[in-house]
A and B are shown apart, each in its own frame.
Chain A
């Protein structure tokens, strides 16, 4: 199980949008609609912000959206706010009750 590939960093000004990619394979991202995304602030536990590719848990702002095309999933944060500065991780179900996380992307709000 190799980690899913994410860009190490991304940035945007307040109010702008940023999109983070999550590249997997036909055995994980491409095979299942079970991609989730987590936001992690320094020293804190990850927080689920997207599940099943594009579903938002209750309480997560609609500024966060997810999508998938082939073996690559994406997270878009629209209307960037200062509190969105954090690390973001994708995760995919990889079959046989296993999971694989992405390498992580640090988002900076300029």
Chain B
């Protein structure tokens, strides 16, 4: 069983960059850069539904929600078992609970508890 934990600032100013880290732990995985799993960021504005932000696959392939594609970057530090989310030029609409998730199939099997990021001056 894998455990995921998000971390990062809870408050970001408008027009600045949101940066989050997801740390993966568990005996079944030695690196997030693995063919057996892929990783994703999913967000949920307060009181609203879930939105897929993007995913990272083995070898460095990344895929993003088309509505965010120009502003989002997902990257990985395999040696530290962490992956990252960067969202540029944020606005109040980016205020949400951000979840990191992992998958060994075509679904999101493992989730972090989530972290609330508020965009406000």
Q: Specify which of A32, A89, A97 is in contact with B49 (CB 8 Å cutoff).
A: A89
Q: Which among A52, A91, A96 has the greatest number of chain B C-beta atoms within 10 A?
A: A91
A52 to B66, CA, bound (A): 24
What sequence of 0s and 1s flags, for each residue 64-82 of chain B, a beta carbon within 8 Å of any chain A beta carbon? 0111000000000000000
Of B10-18, B22-30, B50-58, B84-92, the stretch lying at the interface with chain A is B50-58
A57 nearest CB neighbor, chain B only: B109
Sort chain A's interface into a size bin: 20 to 34
| Separation of A45 and B105 alpha carbons in the complex (Å) | 19
Within the complex, the shortest CB–CB distance from A6 to chain B, in Å, comes to: 9
Q: Which residues of B contact A102 (CB under 8 A)?
A: 49
Q: Closest CB of chain A to B25's CB: distance in Å?
A: 16
A45 to B106, CA, bound (A): 18
**Contact (Cβ within 8 A) B113 A45:** yes
Q: How far is the CA of A10 from the CA of B92 in the complex (A)?
A: 31
A52 / chain B contacts, CB cutoff of 8 Å: 105-107
Q: How many residues of B contact A (CB 8 A)?
A: 23
- Roughly how many angstroms separate A99 CA and B114 CA in the complex, as a whole number? 19
Shortest Cβ distance from A104 into B: residue = B49
Closest-CB distance, A37 to chain B (whole angstroms): 9
Most B CB within 10 A of own CB, among A32, A46, A99, A101 = A99
Tell me whether B65 and A51 are in contact (CB under 8 A).
Answer: no
Residues A48 and B66 in contact, CB atoms below 8 Å apart: no
Instruction: Contacts A1-B65, A96-B63, A97-B63 given; indicate if A34 touches B49 (C-beta within 8 A).
Output: no
B49 touches A103 (CB 8 A): yes
